[in-house]
Structure 1
Amino acid sequence: MIDSEILSDNWYVLRKITYEYSKKDGTKLTQSREAYDRGNGATILLSNKEQKTVILTRQFRLPTFVNGNETGMLIEACAGLLDKNNAEDCIRRETEEETGYKITDVRKIFEAYISPGSVTEIVYFFIAEYSKEMKVGDGGR
């Protein structure tokens, strides 16, 4: 990295980064790119094998509205930003806030960069089973 300039620190951080890298033939290239840093996140698919159901949430997402989704609403798996917590603690908190279920056995299945060409975020993917006995609130934060 040669230079990093903050272009926006409004909702999340947008940086213009100038860097140098070596190609296979040994020549060096200097490039500038923008990277959006919103922190890392976690998501979970909640399932009930007995009922053959899953729990999803419905939320407004401005970028989808800007890109032609007339309502901006998406149906998606429960998710949230880590906010400096570990991924499992985050997804347990988000699950209870968004769905009202206090889950017990959470299993991480993988992690991935979602849009590595422009966003720094790593998302940790989890699965867990739920049952009606785990319902402790309304959810829907």
Structure 2
Amino acid sequence: MDPNEKRKNWMGLLAKADPKLLASRFTAFGAVPEFTWLRAPEVGGTMVRGRMGGTGAPFNLGEMTVTRCSLRLASGQVGHAYVQGRDKTKATQAAIVDALMQSDQSDAVQATILAPLQKARDLARATQAAKAAATKVDFFTMVRGED
């Protein structure tokens, strides 16, 4: 898989992760590495765009609050994060994980933080799919012989 695609996947996972689960996995990883801020966590807004049917002309759907930050680890890796809402702690943790995934600690970060987050996300999706499947109605057509 393309390295940019891998990074896109883990950054999406971090952005959508439950803040409490991310915090617990982040704590389980161990000591926070030394870093310097390139852009301290800041809250702002962004325009969300949509498309009718996923393929139509884009339109402005509305605004969403986001928190973003950027940092550099003492070892030189740069991490970025954009998360929905006003959670500066989550943004900081996501940026640190992003930077660590670009370092020699990526395997440990993957096992300790990202794999449990992915498992929780998969479980939530399966639970939601099961709830939706329970309400499914199967319609069928009977041939009436009036041809």
Would the TM-score normalized by the shorter structure come out above 0.5? no
Q: Which has the higher helix share?
A: 2
**In which range does the TM-score fall when normalised by the shorter chain?**
under 0.3
TM-score with structure 2 setting the length: 0.25
Structure 1 or 2, whichever has the larger Rg, is 2
Q: Which has the higher strand share?
A: 1
